């Protein structure tokens, strides 16, 4: 598995869905026999994971939304998505 | 809802019909007949009610759920009401057009059970000649189609020697997840425990092997293991606690807190034909019988683990201690723990019985 870099294009594989839990009003990542509740930051990242945007593009967009330096954001995003790759919740 | 949580998972036993006859089947010994099965419209209504109630993941199970000709239609409906759909299958009935229909319907995940890595032994355990080859073929087709695959291995004395190779085969197949499910001894498995119960030594070795594989295969495959509670120190939180997270619905529509709950005398099970699911979840006598901690014997109620394992398994307490409101005998603090251990040791040392295969009419 290649390490994540700025040009990687992450996507949610089939069987992993970011889903709004209507009954409890929260966002969840649903996966085989697993349910994860992303925190606010993770949710902001996951909403931009669409199989088209690169990590670079995701960080630039987050930088605009949160008025922050994309280079600093990149470190956090790589760590977050890298953890999800290990759990097989994200593919590139 | 204050004290009563919303359920997370629903296990829908769409039918008890199945071409396999596994001697550890989780279905009750008294199987529901086809003539009494819920129809398509009723299942759809129930799935809609489940989603509104808060259910997130729907497990389409059986028997063999692909024996239902309306399966793809049900999956389409589940996606429409935003349920995550998991198909739990033996795999022997799924030809390519049926598989593609399920894919197009939006199925999220397939869990395929395989009986052993050794073909002859696998077919013998499942009681279905040629089944193993069909399962391997289906696994290839599922992965090729891009559906996530979990391989489920039910482990017992007659295949536990192959455990390491079971995990290796799941990796080779391209499964993303593998389940090592030590047999749970209720219903059919309870009848067959002299043929199935592994020894204490085998159980310890199996646990160590899984731990090693989990470290070695991190990022390659997710390994989940259901620990054999006969040899454990503390019981498992059965179904995540009675009436807390899970709902089970039988082919005829009876709503159960766990799949084996009908082995407990005195419980009254409501039917989805008569009442909405939310009303059953909140008010049914069966769901409230062992909810929370009030029902517990002092041993459990005064224990720090009361909200960790929720007193363990009610059906096991019924089967071994003779009372569904006793502490689970799998708990080392239970007065019946020595009885349970002695049973396990005796069963595991016995000459393996002939299987009593799972069949209609027991």
Could you list the pLDDT tens digit for every one of the 92 residues in chain A?
567 899 999 999 999 999 999 999 999 999 999 999 999 999 999 999 999 999 999 999 999 999 999 989 999 999 999 999 988 899 99
- Is B56 part of the contact surface with chain A (CB cutoff 8 Å)? yes
Q: Cα angle vertex A27, ends A22, A31, to 5°?
A: 105
Beta strands in chain B (DSSP E): 9-13, 57-61, 84-89, 109-114, 149-155, 177-182, 222-226, 246-249, 255-256
Nearest chain B residue (CA) to A86:
B219
- Helix, strand, coil % in chain A, rounded to nearest 5: 40, 15, 45
Measured between beta carbons, which residues in chain B are less than 8 angstroms from residue A86? Answer: 218-219
| Residue B239 tokens, joined | 């179904």
DSSP letter for each residue of A41-55:
HHHHHHTT-SSSS-H
Query: To 10 degrees, what angle do helices B337-349 and B200-216 make?
Result: 90
Contact A30 B176 (CB under 8 A): no
Strand, coil or helix: A82: helix
Q: B162 and B180 in contact (C-beta within 8 Å)?
A: no
Measured CA to CA, the distance from residue A23 to residue A32 in angstroms comes to 20
B336-to-B92, B149, B229 alpha-carbon distances in Å: 41, 39, 14
A24 HSE (CA, 13 A, CB side): 14
Query: To 10 degrees, what angle do helices B71-80 and B40-53 make?
Result: 30
- Of A1, A23, A32, which has the smallest distance from its Cβ to B54's Cβ? A23
Contact B108 A15 (CB under 8 A): yes
Surface of A (12-41) touching B: CB under 8 A: 13-17, 19-24, 28, 30, 32-33, 35
- b/e per residue A7-21 (b: at least 16 CB within 10 A): ebbbebbbbbeebeb
Measured between beta carbons, which residues in chain A are less than 8 angstroms from residue B109? Answer: 15, 32
Burial, B215: exposed, middle or buried (Cβ in 10 Å; 0-12, 13-18, 19+)?
Answer: exposed
Measured CA to CA, the distance from residue B355 to residue B45 in angstroms comes to 39
Contact B56 A19 (CB under 8 A): yes
| Residue B23 tokens, joined | 């001697």
The pLDDT assigned to B150 comes to 98
Contact B57 A30 (CB under 8 A): yes
Query: To 10 degrees, what angle do helices B131-145 and B119-126 make?
Result: 100
pLDDT in tens, chain B (362 residues): 347 999 999 999 999 999 999 999 999 888 989 899 999 999 999 999 999 999 999 999 999 999 999 999 999 999 999 999 999 999 999 999 999 999 999 999 999 999 999 999 999 999 999 999 999 999 999 999 999 999 999 999 999 999 999 999 999 999 999 999 999 988 899 999 999 999 999 999 999 999 999 999 988 999 999 877 888 899 999 889 999 999 999 999 999 999 999 999 999 999 999 999 999 999 999 999 999 999 999 999 999 999 999 999 999 999 999 999 999 999 999 999 999 999 999 999 988 778 999 988 76
Q: B18 and B113 in contact (C-beta within 8 Å)?
A: no
β-partners of residue B112 are B89, B151
The pLDDT assigned to B122 comes to 97
Measured between beta carbons, which residues in chain B are less than 8 angstroms from residue A14? Answer: 108, 146-148
ipTM > 0.90 (yes/no) = yes
Contact A33 B177 (CB under 8 A): yes
CA B45 centroid distance within chain: 24
Contact B176 A15 (CB under 8 A): yes
- Of A1, A15, A86, which has the smallest distance from its Cβ to B148's Cβ? A15
The pLDDT assigned to B362 comes to 60
CA A41 centroid distance within chain: 9
- Of B52, B147, B222, which has the smallest distance from its Cβ to A14's Cβ? B147
- Is A85 part of the contact surface with chain B (CB cutoff 8 Å)? yes
Measured between beta carbons, which residues in chain A are less than 8 angstroms from residue B176? Answer: 15, 32, 88
- Is B6 part of the contact surface with chain A (CB cutoff 8 Å)? yes
- Of B56, B148, B218, which has the smallest distance from its Cβ to A35's Cβ? B56
Q: B238 and B188 in contact (C-beta within 8 Å)?
A: no
Contact A32 B109 (CB under 8 A): yes
């Amino acid at each position: 598995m290649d390490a994540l870099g700025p040009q990687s294009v992450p996507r949610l594989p089939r069987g992993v869905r970011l889903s709004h839990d209507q009954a409890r009003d929260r966002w969840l990542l649903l996966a085989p026999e697993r349910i994860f509740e992303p925190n606010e930051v993770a949710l902001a990242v996951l909403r931009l994971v669409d199989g088209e945007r690169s990590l670079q593009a995701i960080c630039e967009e987050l930088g605009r939304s949160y008025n922050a330096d994309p280079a600093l954001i990149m470190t956090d995003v790589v760590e977050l998505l890298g953890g999800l790759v290990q759990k097989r919740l994200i593919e590139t | 809802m204050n004290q009563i949580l919303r359920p997370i998972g629903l296990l829908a036993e769409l039918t008890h019909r199945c071409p396999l006859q596994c001697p550890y089947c989780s279905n009750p010994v008294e199987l529901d007949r086809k003539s009494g099965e819920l129809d398509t419209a009723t299942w759809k209504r129930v799935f809609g009610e489940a989603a509104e109630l808060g259910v997130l993941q729907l497990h389409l199970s059986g028997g063999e759920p692909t024996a239902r000709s309306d399966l793809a239609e049900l999956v389409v409906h589940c996606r429409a009401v935003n349920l995550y759909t998991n198909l739990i299958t033996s795999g022997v009935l799924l030809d390519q057009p049926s598989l593609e229909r399920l894919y197009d319907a939006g199925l999220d995940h397939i869990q395929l059970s395989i009986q052993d890595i050794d073909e002859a032994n696998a077919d013998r355990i499942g009681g279905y000649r040629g089944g193993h080859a069909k399962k391997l073929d289906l696994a290839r087709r599922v992965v090729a189609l891009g559906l996530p695959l979990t391989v489920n291995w039910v482990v017992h004395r007659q295949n536990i020697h192959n455990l390491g190779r079971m995990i290796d085969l799941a990796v080779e197949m391209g499964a993303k997840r593998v389940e090592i499910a030590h047999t749970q001894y209720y219903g059919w498995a309870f009848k067959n425990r002299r043929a199935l119960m592994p020894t204490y030594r085998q159980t310890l070795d199996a646990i160590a092997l899984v731990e090693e594989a989990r470290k070695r295969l991190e990022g390659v495959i997710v390994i989940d293991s259901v620990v054999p509670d006969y040899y454990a120190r503390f019981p498992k939180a059965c179904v995540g606690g009675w009436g807390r997270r899970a709902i089970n619905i039988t082919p005829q529509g009876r709503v159960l807190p766990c799949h084996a709950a009908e082995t407990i005398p005195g419980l009254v099970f409501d039917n989805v034909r008569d009442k909405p699911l939310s009303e059953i979840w909140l008010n049914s006598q069966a769901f409230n019988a062992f909810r929370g901690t009030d029902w517990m014997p002092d041993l459990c109620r005064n224990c720090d683990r009361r909200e960790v394992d929720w007193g363990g398994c009610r059906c096991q307490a019924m089967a071994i201690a003779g009372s569904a409101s006793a502490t689970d005998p799998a708990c080392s603090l239970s007065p019946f723990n020595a009885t349970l251990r002695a049973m396990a040791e005796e069963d595991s040392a016995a000459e393996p019985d002939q299987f009593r295969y799972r069949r209609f009419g027991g």
